[in-house]
Structure 1
Amino acid sequence: MVEKVKISRLQFSLLVMMFTIGSSILIIPSGLAKDAKQDAWIAVLVGVVVGIVLVALYIALGKRYRSMNLAEYSEVILGKWLGKTVSMLYFAFFFLLSALVLRNLGDFLNTYQLTKTPIIATHILFLLLVTFAVHLGLEVFARSSELFFPWAVVLSILLFFFLSPQIEFKNLQPIMEGGVQPIVRASITIIGSPFLELVVFLLIFPSINQIHGWKTGFFSGYLMGAISLFMTTISAILVLGADITATQMFPSYEVAKKVNVADTFQRLEAIAAFIWFLTIFIKLTICFYASAICLSQALNLKDYRVVILPLAMIMIILSIIAYPNTAYYLTFVSTTWPPLALLFGLFLPLLLLIISIFKKRLAK
């Protein structure tokens, strides 16, 4: 079920960029530094190269069914019942991802900002805003990305500029001390989240109103997001060092605390938090929107909005029980999530593309 709205190529590109940054900007540097240590920035570059291949795969699949989304052409390629099964599987994947992103936000706020506020209250307040955005539709939160983008860019540039006196290039040495294996192992983390999660945009392709250039929009949005992740990771290593980065749950926030320019500009972590709220809002909104679209397609509903409120209520509970503590979450992200993301972000889209090609050749 394609929503009857249209967004511009620029809006699509900004959605891709902010989704790629999402909550990953909070947690990715820590996971990479645990495996690759001071070579975490190299792991990001390896992941970015693989991510380009993934984006090319999604473009190739979306191009074949320009007027349909992932849930719709799954039924065309695999048949009605197998297609609906795939839609339900993607619904579960995107819904679980939504709950995890919401929990990341709740953990961050409860750790640094709202330490005495129950985490469920934080989740409810933020999800109310996300639910409202999803109800208004794709066109509305796509326009929101245009509004947020200048703020995110300007504040990010200011933050990196003020951090420059704290940079220690010796923190990058020795390069490749542990060899290639730790770098490859770390790159799997960033490939699993967020690059494999970009499959979600197969549900938004049909809503782009510019037929020509949407491929460029996808690539440009992806590269801008990847550059942001690279800059965040290398900044954490340069300022904090690999050991401290690896032990922090949210190292990029700790980096923002290090800002000190002539004892005048200090502790600019509020700026960093504001940027993250914007990107997390966009990512959570897209994931929630995608899960509602997949479920409504599988159930043959005319309007996805009828499932928004029930899903929001379920998500509140799921976000609380998704992982009981930080140690469990770190284990889940490093061991369970990459193969799960690989199934939905690579194997299923690749299978759909191959079957589609064979069916077209057989038809000829």
Structure 2
Amino acid sequence: MMMQGQEKINNRQLAVLVTLYTIGDSILVLPSIPAMIAKEDAWISGLAGLLIGLLFAMMFAWLGKQNPGLNVYQYSSKLLGKWGGMCIALLLTYYFFIMVSAQIREMGDFMTVQIMPETPIHSIILLFLGVVILGARLGIETIARLGELLFPYFLLMYCVLALCLMPAIDWENLYPVLHTKWKTIVYGSITTTTFPFVELVSFLVILPSVNNVKRIQKSMLVGTLIGGITLEIMIVLTIAVLGAPVTANQIYPAYSLAKKISIGNFLERIEAMLAIMWIVTTYFKTVLNYYALMYGIANLTKLSDPKVASLPIGMILVVSSLVSFPDITYFSDLVTNYWPYLDFTICLALPLLLIGFHYKVKKS
């Protein structure tokens, strides 16, 4: 398999990619899930999710530092042997495949429901997936440079959006504080931990390309913290403006939030800005997952160049996104009730297994 040492990114670029990945598709859909569970205390669940998410970022960074120059597929074989490594690679590759299928379906659903209702969903999926494949084929250096280029514009639009929402905020919507049980708040934090942070496992494929191994942990933590704070502010704004009951019943609560902006009958309905922000961050999350998937397929099939598999994978993904997720209702139910358990099973159990075998090999 082609070595990743040929491509290098710096630690600032890593932090930007982690930030954009963490925000990802969560900026649009995340607020409704903890609001459904913890009601007005959803922001506390979000804060707890951020703290737990930092621990996941530290775990992934630690694995990357202990195995410099090797991605997760390579050091899995090193630690667990040929067949053990193949099992890990198979599970992770399947996970990334399902992730990309879900994300391109999510893009298709959002565009056809909210922005281009008369456009066939197949067209949206094909266009979006084409750009994702192009980015993955160009490599991690190109993706990182694009992230650096777009990140300041994303921050600017985010700040403008937050400032425009200030007049619509009703802080009473956040009260009473802690009126739900701690058990409910903790349960709500599972989803806020899962979607942005647990899925950072894909960076175990990207970390070998970082040129300064010693600062990997710092970059991962900074990126996770910025992304987590961005999402936490969005949860607070959504509940403070819309209220917890309305937020919980919305599929895209942040998009509905942006529709509330009205300043002097001049600046109104700037939800297109939020849509652009979501498309950008969702693209980075999808392309990085596709990149990890590409290397997983190459590892399993012993391809010398992972790019060879990019187009065949894409054709299968188009079918998978339409068959695996028949409609938006099915997708929302799956994400809310079942997806967190898949994330924790793959993204917590497998890294912990690798850490355990690392210490076992080290002692022997």
TM-score band w.r.t. shorter chain: over 0.9
Q: In structure 2, what is the Cα distance between the partners aligned to 1:83 and 1:248? A: 42
Aligned equivalent of 1:196, options 195, 198, 218: 198
1:247 offset after TM fit, Å? Answer: 0.8
- 2:305 is matched with 303
1:63 offset after TM fit, Å? Answer: 1.4
Q: In structure 2, what is the Cα distance between the partners aligned to 1:211 and 1:30? A: 37
Q: In structure 2, what is the Cα distance between the partners aligned to 1:116 and 1:38? A: 36
1:206 offset after TM fit, Å? Answer: 0.8
Q: Which amino acid aligns with 1:92?
A: Y
1:255 offset after TM fit, Å? Answer: 0.6
1:328 offset after TM fit, Å? Answer: 2.0
DSSP-derived class of the 2:149 partner: helix
Q: Does the CA contact (< 8 Å) of 1:69 and 1:202 recur in 2?
A: yes
Asked if residue 277 in structure 1 is aligned to residue 260 in structure 2, the reply is: no
Asked if residue 357 in structure 1 is aligned to residue 364 in structure 2, the reply is: no
Q: In structure 2, what is the Cα distance between the partners aligned to 1:55 and 1:128? A: 30
Query: What TM-score results when the alignment is normalised by the length of structure 2?
Result: 0.97
Q: What are the superposed Cα offsets for residues 102-142 of structure 1, whole Å, 9 maximum, x if unpaired?
A: 11111111111110111111000111111111111111111
- 1:249 is matched with 251
DSSP-derived class of the 2:29 partner: helix
Q: What are the superposed Cα offsets for residues 167-190 of structure 1, whole Å, 9 maximum, x if unpaired?
A: 000000111222112211111112
Asked if residue 168 in structure 1 is aligned to residue 170 in structure 2, the reply is: yes
- 1:112 is matched with 114
1:84 offset after TM fit, Å? Answer: 1.5
1:157 offset after TM fit, Å? Answer: 0.3
DSSP-derived class of the 1:79 partner: helix
Percent identical: 36
Could you list the runs of 5+ residues in structure 1 that have no partner in the other structure? none
Q: In structure 1, what is the Cα distance between the partners aligned to 2:200 and 2:265? A: 42
Q: In structure 2, what is the Cα distance between the partners aligned to 1:65 and 1:219? A: 18
- 2:185 is matched with 183
Aligned equivalent of 1:17, options 15, 19, 22: 19
Q: What are the superposed Cα offsets for residues 192-224 of structure 1, whole Å, 9 maximum, x if unpaired?
A: 212110011011111001233221111000001
How many residues get paired? Answer: 362
Q: In structure 1, what is the Cα distance between the partners aligned to 2:77 and 2:154? A: 39
1:344 offset after TM fit, Å? Answer: 1.6
Query: What TM-score results when the alignment is normalised by the length of structure 1?
Result: 0.97
Q: Which amino acid aligns with 1:7?
A: I
Aligned equivalent of 1:48, options 37, 50, 53: 50
Q: What are the superposed Cα offsets for residues 54-82 of structure 1, whole Å, 9 maximum, x if unpaired?
A: 11211221111111010000000000122
* RMSD between superposed Cα atoms in Å: 1.0
Q: How does 1:1-364 map to 2 (within 5 A)?
A: 1=1, 2-3=3-4, 4-362=6-364
1:327 offset after TM fit, Å? Answer: 2.9
Q: Does the CA contact (< 8 Å) of 1:85 and 1:298 recur in 2?
A: no
Q: What are the superposed Cα offsets for residues 230-283 of structure 1, whole Å, 9 maximum, x if unpaired?
A: 011111001100011111100000111111111111111011111111101100
Q: Does the CA contact (< 8 Å) of 2:65 and 2:213 recur in 1?
A: no
Q: In structure 1, what is the Cα distance between the partners aligned to 2:208 and 2:299? A: 15
1:335 offset after TM fit, Å? Answer: 2.7
Q: Does the CA contact (< 8 Å) of 2:62 and 2:217 recur in 1?
A: no
Q: In structure 1, what is the Cα distance between the partners aligned to 2:348 and 2:233? A: 26
